Amino acid sequence: MVTDAQTEQKEETRQIKLNILLRDFLEIANCQDLVLKDKIEKVLKLANSFLDTDTAVIGEIIGNTYQISYAVSSENNITAGEVFNIHNTFCLRTCQTEGLFTIPDCTTEEYSAMSCREHFKYKSYAGISINVGGKVYGTLHFATHSKKKHFFESANELIKIIAQWVSHEIYKNQNYLTLKNAEAALRLENKDLTRKCQDIQELASFVSHDMKHPLRAINGFLELLEMNLGEDITESAKELIQEALSASDYMDMLLDDLLSYLETDKSGAKTEKIDTNEVIKRVVKQAELRFSGINIKITHDNLPTIYYGAALFERIIANLVDNAVKYCDEDPIKIHISSGRDDDHWIFSVQDNGIGVPESHKTKIFGMFERLQTKEDAEGTGIGLAICRKVVESYGGRIWVEPVNHVDTDENQGSIFKFSVPINSHGYEIRDVT
């Protein structure tokens, strides 16, 4: 007959043992030299000895299966990696139970028919569900093979603590793995991108040397042919040679522009402080020289100082001014350059009184080789705006076109090409327009 005093003393001894075990458990949990698997197995072994069980298992629910993740058993009849039909395990019952689900006697009729009981030959069982990141992960359970056993209050407490710790560690590990996978994917992508960049560089050099060389030869032979025919050349032969020469010139221009698209790159440009008023003055001078004889009036507001690749900024403005002249039938051609700003961008605008861009094409024209005119109507390859877009976007801005709305006539005549420049993307001080 067990007296109250004996029970009390037994409970006291169990508490002392539990405290010692928790201290050891903390030591293992905080050990930096152990990997998660070793930590978990050591903790499960400790718990087995405290609970007087011979088997400790952590299993994961994957679909309709219960897959053993970690197992420590003196019976050696259960190992990590084994997979069971979830309905033949105590897992679902465990997950449905708040707190610990215990079976002091697995040999009773209710459980003895289950195939896992047959397989593992458990005599008693105590399990608890494990939640990881707010979702049911699986269960942690302890079992005996040789004797039936009741699990006491202190056992409950311990199993709950271990389940919480395991859940935390698995969560940490999953996040770590996700991060590692993302890092590996990024590294691969980076490698892929570097390879693609190399391909493009190789293509660029191929285009500039190997393709232009035969083109120059074709031009030379055509000119020789024209010379050789001399006075005998017929009008139609002359026309055909001219056609061939102009097609070859167009191809030369295409190759130049394509090369320019491939090579125009923010990475090679130094970001520097630029007074955009100075850039505009240079572009205006060049346009006046290039289009001498055409009546062009270019005006501009007082513009801000920005941080950008100087040559690239000039290239965008020059391209937009060139287009404004090319796609205008008015006399005079009027171009006005201005700027505005929103919270974190300068917005530059180049307005013209030209033919305008139909609503249906206002996005398309920024793509490669997109042209609304034939090469007879206006010289060009359809790459200029694609280059502008590439540069603008590489600096974190965007480029678009709007129609000019004349309030008095209610007619749209001309376009406003706008592009944005992030104000503080480089962390520099911002200087306002004075």
Would you tell me which residues interact with ligand ADP (CB under 6 A)?
323-324, 326-327, 352, 354-357, 365, 370-373, 380-386, 415
Task: Write down the residue that tokens 């699990």 correspond to.
Answer: 151
Of the pair 86, 324, the CB lying nearest ligand ADP is at 324
Q: Please, which residues have CB within 8 angstroms of residue 387's CB and are 6 or more apart in sequence? A: 257, 260, 261, 264, 315, 319
Of the pair 103, 283, the CB lying nearest ligand ADP is at 283
SS (H, E, C) 127-140: EEEEEECCEEEEEE
Of the pair 55, 323, the CB lying nearest ligand ADP is at 323
The answer to whether 420 touches 347, Cβ cutoff 8 Å, is: yes
Question: What is the rounded distance in angstroms from the CA atom of residue 325 to the CA atom of residue 414?
Answer: 11
Of the pair 74, 246, the CB lying nearest ligand ADP is at 246
Q: How far apart are the first and last CA of the chain?
A: 99
Question: What is the rounded distance in angstroms from the CA atom of residue 266 to the CA atom of residue 234?
Answer: 51
Minimum Å gap between C-beta 403 and ligand ADP is 10
Minimum Å gap between C-beta 264 and ligand ADP is 13
Q: In sequence order, what are the beta bridge partners of 334?
A: 297
Q: In sequence order, what are the beta bridge partners of 58?
A: 70, 140
Of the pair 65, 286, the CB lying nearest ligand ADP is at 286
Minimum Å gap between C-beta 218 and ligand ADP is 23
Of the pair 143, 287, the CB lying nearest ligand ADP is at 287
**Which of 261, 308, 303 lies closest to 284 in space, CA to CA?**
303
Minimum Å gap between C-beta 409 and ligand ADP is 18
Of the pair 341, 362, the CB lying nearest ligand ADP is at 362
Task: With H, G, I as helix, E, B as strand and everything else as coil, classify residue 409.
Answer: coil
Minimum Å gap between C-beta 410 and ligand ADP is 20
Minimum Å gap between C-beta 385 and ligand ADP is 3
Minimum Å gap between C-beta 326 and ligand ADP is 6
The beta strand positions in 203-268, using DSSP E, are: none
Q: In sequence order, what are the beta bridge partners of 234?
A: none
4-30 vs 153-205: helix axis angle to the nearest 10? 10
Of the pair 405, 424, the CB lying nearest ligand ADP is at 405
Question: What is the rounded distance in angstroms from the CA atom of residue 346 to the CA atom of residue 306?
Answer: 8
Question: What is the rounded distance in angstroms from the CA atom of residue 57 to the CA atom of residue 139?
Answer: 8
Closest residue to ligand ADP, based on beta-carbon distance: 380
Question: What is the rounded distance in angstroms from the CA atom of residue 160 to the CA atom of residue 151?
Answer: 13
Of the pair 323, 339, the CB lying nearest ligand ADP is at 323
Minimum Å gap between C-beta 133 and ligand ADP is 50
Quickly count: other Cβ atoms within 10 Å of residue 265's Cβ. Answer: 15
Minimum Å gap between C-beta 379 and ligand ADP is 7
Question: What is the rounded distance in angstroms from the CA atom of residue 81 to the CA atom of residue 186?
Answer: 30
